[in-house]
Amino acid sequence: MSLTAQLQAVADASSKQIPADIQVVMQKAIDELEGSNLLANALKAGDTIPEITLPNAKGETVSLQAKLNAGKKLVIAFYRGGWCPYCNVELKALQGILPQIEAAGAELIAITPEAPDNSLSTTEKNELTFEVLTDKDNKLANSLNLAYQLPEELNTIYKGFGIDLEKSQENNDRTLPIAATYVVDANGKVTYHFLEEDYKLRADTSEILKAL
């Protein structure tokens, strides 16, 4: 089953479990984000990525520029956190195509606003063998015009689901990255982008491999 089909199955199951009034609030947040024009200035194909240095799940500093300098291409995926079922489906699917990514001379990097301790839990839970980096306070995502603030009403709903962004990210600004995936060549140029305000949608693995 494709990643797109897996995500649709999760969305269909959620729609049967989540009360209609809460679904209205969730959809309103997506609609407002789509109307915000956030993505107009986001990093896109044809752009060059900035120098990026972030800590991994073990607290070790990782330089993406160093990987590019070594001749690697990069697949970079921003995700919200291990609490997000759509993110977990995406991460497992990315793990599944890791051999093909590496065979194409690329390295897979996932970026999340979750604190390293929490991203480590996500890494272990999903048995990930690629780098998961922490974008503290979404500083990188903000600089790339990929970050937005979750509405307070929706944040309250999340808390009712047991999702505590303040604990997960170790801040209280309610900021999250949109679903964004990039393929970057060894010169640092973006050759493929997927940008989507609807968190239920992600770049399909077949499209990522095609872009490599």
Residue 120: is its pLDDT beyond 90?
A: no
DSSP-assigned beta bridge partners for residue 147: 177
User: Do the strands 175-177 and 147-149 form a parallel or antiparallel pair, or are they unpaired?
Assistant: antiparallel
Number of domains in the chain: 1
Residue 112: domain span: 3-211
Residue 123: is its pLDDT beyond 80?
A: no
Spatial contact of 126 and 92, defined as CB atoms under 8 Å apart:
yes
Spatial contact of 143 and 54, defined as CB atoms under 8 Å apart:
no
Give the model's pLDDT for residue 138: 97
Mean pLDDT, rounded, for 181-206:
98
> pLDDT tens digits for 175-191?
999 999 999 999 999 99
Give the model's pLDDT for residue 43: 97
CA distance 101 to 198: 25
Residue with tokens 């915000």: 36
Q: Which two tokens stand for residue 208?
A: 């990522």
CATH number at residue 175: 3.40.30.10
Give the model's pLDDT for residue 26: 96
